[in-house]
Structure 1
Amino acid sequence: MIASVLVANRGEIACRVFRTCREAGIATVAVHADPDAGALHVRSADTAVRLPGTTAAETYLRGDLVVRAALTAGADAVHPGYGFLSENAGFARAVTDAGLVWIGPPAEAIEAMASKTRAKRVMADAGVPLLAPLDPAGLTASDLPVLIKAAAGGGGRGMRVVRDLAVLEEELVSARAEAAASFGDGEVFVEPYVEGARHVEVQVLADTHGTVWTLGTRDCSLQRRHQKVVEEAPAPDLPDPVRAALTSAAETAARAIGYVGAGTVEFLLPTGGRGPCFLEMNTRLQVEHPVTEAVYGVDLVALQIRVAEGEALGAAPEPYGHAVEARLAAEGSLDRPVRRLRAGGPGLRLDAGYAEGDTVPPHYDPLLAKAIAWAPTRREAIRKLAHALEHAAIHGPHTNRDLLVRALRHPEFQAGAPDTGFLERNLPALTRPRDARLAALAAALAGAHAPGAWRNVPSQPQTKRYRSEPDGTEHEIRYHRTRDGLVPEDFPGVRVVSAVPGRVALETDGVTRTFEVTAYADGRVHVDSYALTALPRFPDPADRAAAEPGSLLAPMPGTVVRVADGIAIGEPVKAGQPLLWLEAMKMEHRVTAPVDGTLTALHATPGRQVETGETLAVVTETEENS
């Protein structure tokens, strides 16, 4: 019987495991890096152990420190969560060698699948269909496009699509560097990139008594930068023979490596009638596991613990209904604390890693929460989730909320199962700025309740200015106080029905809409799902003095990981030429020259921590282009 569990992770997944442990009467232990000292997962645990340092490499990826923490805190089991050390065979062995229970698969099974190149050889020997790797040295134009992938880890890191042989070597170098930084292993491989395919996976769960469950399929095709954004179960529009082939191949894969515990076998499903191709096996719990839990009515973490305690699984449950999950992630600047993160309702679940007052560190995954909706049908589940996200109170950092809502409501997604290129094809429409002018009017009127008398003579209007986030559009709002109430200027057809602090009702062409307005002392204003920043009425001239022309500013807090080889101050650069790479939120962001010109300043050095808006480099445009 497990009495105390240390979760070797942070954020949402640590909170998720702790929730099941509390329900089971199991004590909980958290570990934390210094930026996470006050994090939600630390506050959620019974005890916590500090891992001195800031970066993942100094803390969450130090297996020796995590094992020592478990022993120090008196834990008798370790749950790895996902990411970090969850698929590290050496860590699994270190846990069991220390006399602790490992809530995961055997180290040998992890080792067999830890390298995607080795995993493909194992699966080929077991008869599981797959895409064969390609030799980068022998590639020709006819092989394009190809996909570079990190042999270790996942989450889209160390992954590049190459459509031009001229950039192959550069992309290999970049992928190796990102893989080494993320997983401590710079090995990459190349395989064919299949256009228009679907990404479908099968949840497996196996015990030590020879039982292997295959808990249906999940579709994870909605991806941005090779990272999953929306997942659903079961995968829609799969013919019965294809579904049977997927689950059979997944069971074969699990049995081939003597798998125990929860895991996921991922497949690429090409168009044109070709059968599924094995991609990889994740020897851990997946981020998207809640959709399977919702459809099968199970708690996968509780089942992981039962299996680790040696219990038999018995008969597999039957599925019912449909579930959809959306990953709500912070984007852009992370210097704003989470002020509100609320969403709920019947058939809805929110797995959050942050609470009000928390700040999202730039050093780790930007996932704020996962919103999950279940309903008897796919159509109902999609509608419920889109509505919940649209009306959720999310105040603080910028998020991908608008992208998620638009993707869920897109006709192509609602009609059936889109392929992995869906977001790329539709990104301009899915990310276009919303017209926030009416929201800015509501923000202005909500603050117009200050005492003051109306004047029975013509007077200048009251003026307020706002900037909508994150697109930066500025709105100047003018309104008059009259004996009949507040009257906005330049809003034909709009009548103010009521305006009090926190709530404004506006009638537009006979239709009344009510806005919920929340204003904060630092000038941030949230109007329903719109985020605004109040601006001074008359801008300070000093604020207009922008950075030096040609300055390349850090788009978010992060760490400079690389500077391009061969660049030096005084040297010419071409527009679009990579100058340096910034790592933030576990992703590499390439900073390129904006114009043809000369590099006149370079303030970035590898390892340097930068904040949003810091100058990284300056490119002075050549006169003939200026």
Structure 2
Amino acid sequence: MINIKINKILIANRGEIACRIIRTAQRMGIECVAVYSDADKNAQHVKLADEALHIGASTAKESYLNADLILKIAQKTQSDAIHPGYGFLSENAEFAKKCAAANIIFIGPPVAAIEAMGSKSEAKEIMTQASVPLVEGYHGDNQDENFLRQKAEEIGFPVLIKATAGGGGKGMRVVETSEQFIDSLHSCQREALSSFGDNKVLVEKYLTKPRHIEIQVFADNNGNTIHLFERDCSVQRRHQKVIEEAPAPGLSEQKREEMGAVAVTAAKAIGYQGAGTVEFLYDEDGSFYFMEMNTRLQVEHPVTEMITGLDLVEWQITVANGLPLPLKQSELSINGHAFEARIYAEDPNNDFLPATGKISYIGLPHCNTNVRVDSGVTSGDSISVFYDPMIAKLIVWDRDRSAALARLRGALADLHVAGISTNIEFLHQLASNDSFNNADLDTHFLEKHEEELLALGKEVEVDILAAAALQIMLKQSSQSSQNKADANSPWEQTDGWRLNEDNYHLIQVSHGNNNYSITAHFRDSGFLLEIEQKEYVASGYIDANKLYLDLDGHKTVVSFIEENNQLVVFKNANSWELKIIDNSLFNIEADTQANLTAPMPGTVIDVLVNAGDQVEEGQALIVMEAMKMEHTIKAHKNATIADVLYQEGDLVDDGAELIIFDDE
């Protein structure tokens, strides 16, 4: 009989993964300890935990990466185990060693397994010895830039430069020609050093139309190793996954068994325990190649849970307790199809640059057996510059891929976020795309379909303007009726009645740089709206934050959120932020950007020009780092540099002027 050793867990992470671990652990009767930085003092994982302790300043280095302090807090709170989640310390072998030395269970694989897979070059050597197929490449220790370029030329372009200690798409560059190699190498090394503290890289042949298919593996300390089928993660931007699904579409049962067996072989080769993911590149001809093994729980693990009916965090805790795996390989089966869409605070129309700020409102779709939302934020919370800009993970399940896609589109249409830019509309476009619906997938999918996926409607449609006008008029009428001193007085009426004149109300709103004027004429059954020199008959009613609109007999429903003088209208995964303006502001023209400004808050890591330089449109000027990703900021016009306002190492606010151009 094995004694249960884990009664209290410290979660060394934050956000949605911390919340997700806490919910499972508490359901199992296990107490949970949260840690939080300055930026996270009011975060949801802090509120969910049984107790929470402050761990330091807002930067990850001063808080969630402070291994020694985390261990002290675990000992202080008498925690039996630490769950690292993903990211931060989840694949840090030294931290796992310190946990063992402190007699605290690390809910993850053995130290040797983390070390073996922590270096991509060492991992590939081990996989070679285990007869796991690999992509052609150089994985050695020689990091001389000219030697690496020579190896790239021998392999043949295009090649992929990849940080050996990397993950999450950071420290990776695709290089098309020999001339581009050195600059790409330096950029990759800088990003790798910033993200992982190690700038060592490997170089591999870059497959032109691969799919990214990964196998979920699990092992206990009794010698049992199984796989829980595969996930397709081909749709990516900047090598970071955008949407994942399970099982992989079009994969035969024979190929599924073959890839699963290879993944189990890979796990056994390093004496693995716990949850892990073996990632493969899957080529058009059905061949597949080992990429890497993630020795942790993956962001996309919920799609595996949805098709298997299992709780992988519960399995992690079970294995960490020394118990055998709950099921054998023969007892596992796939049921239906699942998708996970990552909801990010970012601007798809601006190269997916991350956004920061306060979420004034978040409305979630109804959750049930078909729809699940994992999130670490709620209305009023902020997305900080210090961490990944993920807002939530939307996971859906249904009987097959087509039904699950329809479920995904519906859930995205019911997911509303106001106050910050998001990728929700982009994801809905993606889920509606014909090629995606037909499972014509590869890791270049977004580049191939960028034009159609980013063709997002920015014009405000007539029905949205009508809905905004009707909401304003109905709310005004409701407030006026509540505030009437004498309901029978003609002077207290709100129907716009005027002696010998048409009764109307002028409404003016702006969206971006565009201004709109709507005249609402009062009618017995509602309003006659004049919009862009056309007339529409509108009526309807408000229920909570939904407006039921009848426009010329066409009935529809929109959701809205009103804050101060701004009205956010939601419809079919789209949103429009409408500012209610007055006449004095109505004719203000849009400002033209004369100088170069920061598209997001971050740190300047390289300045490529000086005052007096002549630059051309599209020329790289400054390299910034935000949320552990490099962003090259380019000139938007031909000009002469008058002044450079920031230098390497400077912190920059969103919208701050970086470079002043000489207009003359």
Partner of 2:507: 463
1:442 aligns with 2:482: no
SS at match of 1:140: helix
Does 1:342 find its partner at 2:375? no
* Matching residue within 575, 584, 589 for 2:626: 584
Q: Of 58, 62, 73, which residue of structure 2 is paired with 1:54? A: 58
Corresponding position of 1:488: 529
Q: What code does the residue aligned with 1:531 have?
A: W
Q: Quote how far apart the aligned CAs of 1:417 are.
A: 4.7
Residue correspondence of structure 1 range 499-514 to structure 2 within 5 A: 499-500=541-542, 502-508=545-551, 510-514=553-557
1:123 correspondence with 2:122: no
From the superposition, tell whether residues 442 and 383 of structure 1 become closer, same or farther in structure 2 (CA, over 3 Å): same
Retained in 1: the 8 A contact 2:155–2:204?
Answer: no
TM-score norm. by structure 2 comes to: 0.88
Q: 1:545 to 1:294 in 2, by over 3 A?
A: closer
2:158–2:175 CA contact under 8 A, matched in 1:
yes
- The answer to whether the Cα contact below 8 Å between 1:550 and 1:620 also exists between their aligned partners in 2 is no
Deviation at 1:413, TM superposition (A): 1.3
Alpha-carbon distance in 1 for matches of 2:632, 2:594: 16
Structure 1: distance between partners of 2:179 and 2:421? 36
Match of 2:12 in 1: 8
Kept in 1: contact 2:470–2:539 (CA 8 A): no
Per the alignment, residue 531 of structure 1 pairs with: 576
* Paired letter, 2:607: A
1:146 maps to 2:159? yes
Q: Is the 8 A contact 1:593 1:619 kept in 2?
A: no
Tell me what 2:282 maps to: 269
Structure 1 residue 510: Cα displacement: 4.1
Deviation at 1:74, TM superposition (A): 2.0
- Written as runs of structure 1 = structure 2, the 5 A alignment for 1:319-330 is 319-330=334-345
Amino acid at match of 1:603: L
1:88-237 alignment, distance < 5 Å = 88-134=92-138, 136-138=148-150, 139-140=152-153, 143-237=156-250
Q: 1:588 to 1:539 in 2, by over 3 A?
A: farther
Look up the SS of the partner of 1:179 in the other structure.
Answer: helix
Matched with 1:521 is 564
Which amino acid letter does the alignment assign opposite residue 270 of structure 1? D
**Cα–Cα, structure 1 residues 356 and 480, in superposed 2: closer, same or farther, change >3 Å?**
closer
SS in 2 for 1:151: strand
Q: Are 1:79 and 2:124 matched, yes or no?
A: no
Q: Does 1:286 align with 2:298?
A: yes
Q: Does 1:381 pair with 2:404?
A: yes
**1:231-272: CA deviations, max 9, x gaps?**
11111101233222211110110000000000000000011x
Q: 1:575: Cα distance to partner?
A: 2.5
Deviation sequence 1:344-370 (CA, Å, 0-9, x none): 244111001111211111111111111
- C-alpha distance in 2, partners of 1:178/1:542? 45
For residues 70 and 417 of structure 1, what CA distance do their matches in structure 2 show?
48
Deviates more, 1:411-420 or 1:7-16: 411-420
Give the TM-score taking structure 1 as reference length. 0.93
1:479 aligns with 2:519: yes
Give the distance between the partners of 1:372 and 1:503, measured in 2 at CA. Answer: 24
In 1: Cα distance, 2:134 partner to 2:154 partner: 22
User: What are structure 1's unaligned runs of at least 5 residues?
Assistant: none
TM-superposed deviation, 1:68:
1.8
Alignment check: 8 A CA contact 1:395 1:526 kept: no
Aligned 8 A contact 2:604 2:646 in 1: no
SS in structure 1 at match of 2:115: helix
Aligned with residue 238 of structure 1, among 248, 251, 263? 251
Which residue identity is paired with 1:342?
A: L
C-alpha offsets along residues 57-108 of structure 1, whole Å, 9 cap, x if unaligned?
Answer: 2221221222122122221100110011111111111111111001000010
Shift of 1:505: 4.0
Whether contact under 8 Å (1:494, 1:509) holds in the other structure is yes
Residue type at the aligned position of 1:343: P
Give the Cα–Cα distance (whole angstroms) in 2 for the partners of residues 164 and 458 of structure 1.
Answer: 70
Aligned to 2:418: 395
Mapped partners of 2:587, 2:302: distance in 1 = 50
Per-residue CA deviation, residues 453-477 of structure 1 (Å, 9 max, x unaligned), is 233425775031121xxxx352403
- In 1, the alpha carbon distance for the partners of 2:31 and 2:409 equals 36
SS of the equivalent of 1:357 reads: coil
Residues 443 and 527, structure 1, Cα contact 8 Å, conserved in 2? no
Distance (whole Å) between structure 2 residues aligned to residue 56 and residue 165 of structure 1: 36
Could you tell me whether the CA contact under 8 Å between 1:112 and 1:118 is conserved in 2?
Answer: yes
User: How many Å separate the matches in 1 of 2:38 and 2:217?
Assistant: 35
Letter in 2 for 1:537: D
Q: For residue 518 of structure 1, report the CA deviation from its aligned partner.
A: 1.9
Whether the 8 Å contact between 1:440 and 1:466 is mirrored in structure 2 is no
* CA deviation vs aligned residue, 1:503-545 (integer Å, no higher than 9, x gap): 5444456422122222112525233441313142346599869
**Which deviates further from its counterpart, 79-88 or 165-174?**
165-174
RMSD: 2.3
Question: Rg bigger for which structure?
Answer: 2
In structure 2, give the amino acid aligned to 1:228: K
**Matched residues in 1 for 2:202 and 2:188: separation?**
10
CA distances 1:295-328 after superposition (whole Å, capped 9, x unpaired): 1111100100110110011424322111111111
Q: Distance in 2 between matches of 1:473 and 1:237?
A: 46
CA contact under 8 A between 1:595 and 1:619: conserved in structure 2? no
Q: Which runs of 5+ in 2 are unaligned?
A: 139-146, 348-354, 481-493
Aligned length: 614
User: Which residue number corresponds to residue 553 of structure 1?
Assistant: 597
Q: Residues 550 and 594 of structure 1 are in contact (CA less than 8 Å); yes or no, is this contact kept in structure 2?
A: no
Q: Which residue of 1 aligns with 2:640?
A: 598
